[in-house]
Amino acid sequence: MRNLIIILLLLLVSCKGSNSLVAAKHTYPNPVDTTTKPIMLQKKQVYHLKGLSATNDFPAARLNSLVQNNDSTYTASIWPENFPINPSPWYAFKLWSETEREVYINLDYSNGAKHRYSPKTSRDGENWSLLDSTLVQRGIDSTSARLRLRVGKDTLWLAAQEIQDHRRVGTWVKQMATNKNVTTSVAGKSALGRDLYHLNISKGAHQKKPTVMVISRQHPPEVTGFLCMKAFVETIINEGATNGFLEKYRVMVYPLMNPDGVDLGHYRHNTGGVDLNRDWSQYHQPEIKAVTSHMVRETVTNKNEVLLGLDFHSTYRDVYYTPHESVERKIPEFTKAWLEKIRVAVGLEDINESPGKINRPTSSGWYNQQFGATGITYEIGDDTPREFIKIKGVESARAMMDLLLKN
């Protein structure tokens, strides 16, 4: 009798674990080692060279060294946080001079990386302009770039993309929370203790509502994907309450998945030296562990069925990485219909879709393995015009809401 009781207790514990409030571990054909690796931190400092000063002492900066070549030319070394790494060479620093003059800045990657991001400049860190292409000269092998800049006493910000650091994203989150259908919380903490922001969007109670999940900025430099995500989410908030979408659906948003990497000016990884979009399996990194646990706990507790998971990224061109037709999922008819509605709405001749099977431990595969949902990686080009990014985000949200309301 005693043995029977013990067996029953073990079975009870086992059953409780199968209905776990944390994410299950999954296997993939092409696993990736995401255990923590060492990184190299850049030294934060102010450089005072003959005729020019510069600093990397602010969030999202990346400047590993600055040396003077001659009276008007300087070389800025831009190194990654560790190796091996997908070469996405982010740079960001401030410049000023006692006299108004023209200088040349050589961006030197010299680590296998090639110049990727078209330089942006700003006078206040908030309003950015694309540096005229006539002032940018790539090296022969593209492992460097030479910029011609006008500097003076007023600080000139130079960056690979518009800076959207942890503080700025937090400001946007607070702005969204002024809407009565939005509540915000913290899904957890990064390795260095930064908040992992979460927005819950629903009109009325969100219990038992089918759910859409949205994430962004697993990779620090991918600002264009974040800008599209902002337009997408804002459209849901602004229009979803009047078209009936938020009465029927819940939307969960995690806008900044890698806040440490963003604020440290990383090429791609978190402080664990890992590509977070390869850790959706064993959850070695605290950011992925916290967010996946939050997703599962919230949806299990509130009895939400997750239908769709979107992950906003940036790459060299606009592209949608979608599930291969052989991948079983909820709402399998959604993907083609959604992309076609986007294509028509934004006036494209063709839509750039790249279907794939679930081979690696990425977020899109995890949505499917964890929830049986449709997982899509939404990529925006590095140089996609900002106004078009906004239009695409708006029309993508409208198309999604229209289709899901008919579901």
Q: Give the model's pLDDT for residue 16.
A: 32
**What pairs with residue 186 in β-bridges?**
197
Indicate if the pLDDT at residue 17 is higher than 60: no
CA 382/CA 398 separation, integer angstroms: 23
DSSP sequence for 291-357: HHHHHHHHHHHTTPPEEEEEEEEEESS-EEEEE-TTS--SSTTHHHHHHHHHHHHHT-SS--EEEE-
Q: Give the model's pLDDT for residue 15.
A: 33
User: Which regions of the chain carry the CATH code 3.40.630.10?
Assistant: 166-405
**Strands 144-151 vs 65-68: parallel, antiparallel or unpaired:** unpaired
Q: Give the model's pLDDT for residue 18.
A: 37
Band (pLDDT 50/70/90 cuts) for residue 20 is: confident
- Among all chains, which residue has been given the structure tokens 């959850």? 283
Helices marked H in 136-212 — which ranges?
166-176
Indicate if the pLDDT at residue 9 is higher than 60: no
Q: What is the pLDDT of residues 120-129, one digit of tens each?
A: 999 999 999 9
Q: Give the model's pLDDT for residue 13.
A: 30
CATH T-level fold of 166-405: Aminopeptidase (3.40.630)
What's the average model confidence in pLDDT over 325-338? 97
CA 127/CA 117 separation, integer angstroms: 17
Band (pLDDT 50/70/90 cuts) for residue 334 is: very high
What's the average model confidence in pLDDT over 114-141? 97
| CA nearest to 154, candidates 101, 118, 106 | 101
Indicate if the pLDDT at residue 156 is higher than 90: yes
Average pLDDT taken over every residue of the chain? 95
Q: Give the model's pLDDT for residue 112.
A: 81
* Range of weakest confidence among 3-7, 33-37, 274-278, 337-341: 3-7
Band (pLDDT 50/70/90 cuts) for residue 22 is: confident
User: Which regions of the chain carry the CATH code 2.60.40.3120?
Assistant: 46-159
Indicate if the pLDDT at residue 8 is higher than 70: no
Instruction: Using only the alpha carbons of the chain, give its radius of gyration.
Output: 23
What's the average model confidence in pLDDT over 199-220? 98
Q: Give the model's pLDDT for residue 10.
A: 32
Q: What is the CATH number of domain 46-159?
A: 2.60.40.3120
The rounded percent of the chain whose pLDDT value lies above 90 is: 93
Q: Give the model's pLDDT for residue 11.
A: 34
Q: Which helix (H) or strand (E) holds 215?
A: strand 211-216
What's the average model confidence in pLDDT over 1-9? 39
Band (pLDDT 50/70/90 cuts) for residue 19 is: low
| CA nearest to 380, candidates 298, 310, 280 | 310
CA 239/CA 223 separation, integer angstroms: 24
DSSP classification of residue 241: T
Query: Which two structure tokens, joined as six digits, stand for 141?
Result: 């092998």
What's the average model confidence in pLDDT over 4-22? 42
Band (pLDDT 50/70/90 cuts) for residue 1 is: very low
Nearest 10 degrees: Cα torsion 194, 393, 58, 84: 80
Indicate if the pLDDT at residue 3 is higher than 70: no
Indicate if the pLDDT at residue 296 is higher than 70: yes
Q: Give the model's pLDDT for residue 407.
A: 87
